[in-house]
Amino acid sequence: MSKNSSKKDHRYSIAFYNLENLFDTTDDPNTLDDDFTPDSDKDWNEKRYRKKLKKMGRVISNIGYEDVGYPPAILGLAEMENAAVLRDLIDSKFLKKKGYDFVHFDSSDERGIDTALLYRKKIFEVIEANTYTVYLTNEFGERDYTRDILYVKGELEGQMLHLLVNHWPSRRKGTEETAHKRIAAAKKNLEILDEIYANDPEARIVIMGDFNDDPNSESIKTLVNGELYNPMEVLLTKYEGTLKHRENWHLFDQIIISHNFLKGHENPFRFKKASIFNPEELRERKGKYKGLPFRTYVGKKYLGGYSDHFPVYAIFDIH
């Protein structure tokens, strides 16, 4: 084995991807999934579902591949409907031989979309997994349901790892008007961190997700607060992000880590870099949306693309 391939064998990517409404075609009477059924205006049918699974699988298999030589060891997901969809995803053409399994719990989100974690069984072992609910209320004092935070503890090549997968409340009703909801989600993450550190002060933590806020937003600053490191801060520019809204790039999709990954001396588990995965095939090729994520739908119009978000990933070395 060459020096280079040996090094790659101990280099891993941890990624996050918002799949843009990966729903099956069956109507769930308990959730607001009616848009994604064959009878809906979107005409979401089995052919389109299978095409999307194949496309998502192809993207996932390529995230970080140039850096590592393998698909992600661990991948956080947002906007997928249920365990059956995840099973179909890891059994799809480009993933079925990659050895993935997943962690998933149904959350109380009104649309039925959840967070999940894919992992390659040969190199990551799940030790513990559960969810944490973010309790919110609306202007009438009624429960405002959102996605749970998924917590997974496991070992990557013998190194203990604590992972939190997030999908924070959206900005749909206005950025300022909904900011308090995302700050509440940030504070819930901090409560979870306190629990983790109480049991292991040296815990290695990776927090990932679609935060619906940028690295400089109050909610992310509340979460990071000098206690964590956000390598994504430098990736958001006027010309690049993970999604675009009203002519502005945003970096809602982020991977945030504990400082012990940065230690240079005698560090067996070291952070190397973070990136946005945005090759040409994931971009619109022409028209007014040229360069933006090539998505599955715009409104009710079917485009047959991938997602309205680019995935992100971080590279780690284990010695």
Task: Give me the sign of the Cα torsion angle 22, 247, 215, 277.
Answer: positive
Q: Which residue has the higher pLDDT, 209 or 136?
A: 209
- Identify which of 252, 269, 297 has the alpha carbon closest to the alpha carbon of residue 206: 269
pLDDT digits (tens, 9 = 90+) for 243-264: 998 889 999 999 999 999 999 8
Helices (H), the chain: 3-9, 46-62, 65-68, 83-90, 175-199, 218-224
- Provide the percentage of residues in the chain whose pLDDT is more than 70: 97
Q: Is residue 232 over pLDDT 90?
A: yes
- Identify which of 230, 233, 253, 249 has the alpha carbon closest to the alpha carbon of residue 241: 249
pLDDT digits (tens, 9 = 90+) for 101-153: 999 999 877 787 899 999 999 999 999 999 999 988 877 778 888 899 999 99
* Burial category of 278 from C-beta neighbours within 10 Å (exposed 0-12, middle 13-18, buried 19 and up): middle
Q: How far is CA 178 from CA 32, 82, 175, 213, 298, in A?
A: 21, 26, 6, 11, 23
Question: Domain range holding 92?
Answer: 3-318
Q: How far is CA 262 from the centre of its chain?
A: 22
**pLDDT band at residue 7 using 50, 70 and 90 as cut-offs:** very low
Number of domains forming the structure of the chain: 1
Q: Is residue 60 over pLDDT 90?
A: yes
Query: What pLDDT is stored for residue 2 in this prediction?
Result: 37
Domain at 198, CATH number: 3.60.10.10
Average pLDDT of the segment spanning 203-212 = 98
pLDDT digits (tens, 9 = 90+) for 145-202: 889 999 999 999 999 999 999 999 998 888 999 999 999 999 999 999 999 999 999 9
